[in-house]
Structure 1
Amino acid sequence: MKKIGIVGIGNILFKDEGIGVFVVKYLEENYQFNPNIDLIDAGTLGFRLMEYLEDYEHLILIDTISIKDKPGSVFRLTDEELVGIGSYHQTAHEVEVVQMLELTALKGNRAEVIIIGIIPENICSSEIGLTETLEDIPFKTAVAQVLKELEKLGITYKKVNNKTLKEVVIKNFGSYNGELINKRITNEDYRHS
Structure 2
Amino acid sequence: MPEKDKRILILGVGNILFTDEGFGVRVAEELEQKYEFSDNVTVLDGGTLGLKLMGPIMESDYLIIVDIVLNDGAPGEIFRLLGEDLNKACAFKNSLHQTDLLDTLAQCSIIGSVPDDVVLFGIEPVNYKDMSAALSPDLEARLPEMEALVLEEAKKAGASYALRTAENPATEKIYVPRDTCGNS
Question: Shorter-chain TM-score: which interval?
Answer: 0.7 to 0.9
- Residues 52-63 of structure 1 correspond to what in structure 2 (within 5 A)? 52-63=56-67
> Matched residues in 2 for 1:70 and 1:10: separation?
20
Question: Partner residue of 2:15?
Answer: 11
Is 1:82 the equivalent of 2:110? no
Is 1:160 the equivalent of 2:164? yes
Is 1:113 the equivalent of 2:118? yes
Question: Partner residue of 2:53?
Answer: 49
> Matched residues in 2 for 1:56 and 1:87: separation?
22
Counterpart contact for 2:6–2:40, Cα < 8 Å:
no
CA deviation map 1:8-55 (0-9, x unaligned): 100001111111111111011111122451111111011112222211
- Cα 1:103/1:173, change in 2 over 3 Å: same
Question: Partner residue of 2:96?
Answer: 92
> Matched residues in 2 for 1:43 and 1:174: separation?
12
Q: Unaligned stretches of 5+ in structure 2?
A: none
Is 1:135 the equivalent of 2:140? yes
CA RMSD for the aligned pairs?
2.3
Report the Cα offset of residue 157 of structure 1: 1.7
Counterpart contact for 1:79–1:115, Cα < 8 Å:
no
CA deviation map 1:166-187 (0-9, x unaligned): xx9xx723543376xxxxxxxx
TM-score, normalization by structure 2: 0.83
Q: Unaligned stretches of 5+ in structure 1?
A: 162-167, 180-193
Task: Letter of the 1:116 partner, please give it.
Answer: F
Which protein is richer in helix relative to its size? 1
Counterpart contact for 1:67–1:88, Cα < 8 Å:
no
> Helix, strand or coil for the counterpart of 1:177?
coil
TM-score, normalization by structure 1: 0.79
Which of 6, 31, 34 in structure 1 is aligned with 2:35? 31
Which of 162, 176, 179 in structure 1 is aligned with 2:178? 176
Report the Cα offset of residue 156 of structure 1: 1.8
Counterpart contact for 1:75–1:118, Cα < 8 Å:
yes
> Matched residues in 1 for 2:60 and 2:91: separation?
28
Number of residues of Structure 1 aligned to a counterpart in Structure 2: 171
Task: Letter of the 2:179 partner, please give it.
Answer: N
Counterpart contact for 2:9–2:57, Cα < 8 Å:
no
- Cα 1:46/1:174, change in 2 over 3 Å: closer
> Helix, strand or coil for the counterpart of 2:67?
strand
Identify the structure with bigger relative contact order (alpha carbons < 8 Å, sequence gap 6+). 2
- Cα 1:53/1:143, change in 2 over 3 Å: same
- Cα 1:178/1:62, change in 2 over 3 Å: closer
> Helix, strand or coil for the counterpart of 2:65?
strand
